[in-house]
Amino acid sequence: MAFPPTRLSVVARTRSDDEETRRVAFAALVEAYWKPIYKYLRLQWHLDPDQAADATQDFFVSALEKDLIARYDPARARFRTYLRLCVDGYQSNQVKAGRRLKRGGGASLVSLDFTTAEGELRQREPSVPADVDELFYREWVRALFDRAVGELRERAESRGRRAMFEVFERYDLADPAAGRPSYAEIAGSLGLTPATVTNHLAAMRREFRALVLDHLREVTGSEEEWEAEARRLLGGGW
């Protein structure tokens, strides 16, 4: 079983003395949070797609300038909540200053695919959670799972285990509305025995779980927060 390497909390890494470590950590942070922030600005602050895209990038630039991550205090809030409150602060300042953004302020950080994010917004279920924290949480989990699924696929392919991922894809990832194929059906369509399907699925789920827990470390501010978030996600709380 190939387990992914254990990641450190991104907050810890953005405080590192090593410049390169800090840079990589910040990039990881942007990668984990840009979509939730973009969608949050669209849904909660009612920005149009262009405004939200610009504000998302500009927010990260200002976070770097103001050293927002290093100023995070785990005793006061969850990191996710802290970052959302920072976005609120940023955006209400923008509104107060009546500022209009120049385009592409922080585009060089990571290339952010706002078109995809916008497409996802259009696909989202009609129910937008009333609670802002819940809204941000859901987008945050979505981004987390998105990345874990992507990495699971890449890792399976790089090991030449495409079939393993396909079992997972058909059983756990397929559109829930379309119903679930049986192990026998999956076995038939992939030319595997049902026992192999069972084993593949168990192995993929185990690796997926490890990836989720690992990525979760990157986006939480402390061990306690990681534990609480993990328990909520994997203890039936979603």
Partner 1 sequence: MSFLSDTAIARLCEAAAWPGFESGFTVTGVAGRGGSATVYVARDEALHREVAIKVVDVPDRDGRAAARLAREALILARLDHPGIVPVHAQGVLPDGRAYYVMKLVRGRPLDRAAAELQALPDRLALFARILDTVAFAHAQGIVHRDLKPANILVGGWGDVYVMDWGAAQADTVAEHERVVAGTPGFMAPEQERGEMVDERADIFALGTILKGLAGADAPPAVLAVADKASAAEPAARYARIADVADELNRFRDGLPPSAYREPAAERLLRLYRRYELPVLLVLAYVLMRAGLLLWIGY
The residue length of the chain stands at 238
Encoded one letter per residue, x for contact with partner 1 by CB under 8 A and - for no contact, window 151-180 reads: -----------------x--xxx-xxx---
Backbone torsions φ then ψ of 108, nearest 5 degrees: -80, -10
Q: Of 125, 130, 160, 191, which lies in the binding site for partner 1, with binding defined by CB under 8 A?
A: 125
Encoded one letter per residue, x for contact with partner 1 by CB under 8 A and - for no contact, window 178-217 reads: ------------------------xx-xx-xxx-xx----
Residue 152 CB neighbours (<10 A):
23
* 119 interacts with partner 1 by CB under 8 A: yes
**CA gap 168, 174 in Å, rounded:** 9
**DSSP H stretches of helix in the chain:** 10-14, 19-43, 49-65, 79-97, 114-123, 132-158, 162-168, 183-190, 194-218, 223-234
**Smallest gap from residue 92 Cβ to partner 1 (A):** 29
Encoded one letter per residue, x for contact with partner 1 by CB under 8 A and - for no contact, window 73-112 reads: ----------------------------------------
**CA gap 2, 8 in Å, rounded:** 19
Contact residues for partner 1, defined by CB under 8 A: 1, 119-120, 123-125, 138, 141-142, 145-146, 149-150, 168, 171-173, 175-177, 202-203, 205-206, 208-210, 212-213, 223, 227, 230-231, 233-236, 238
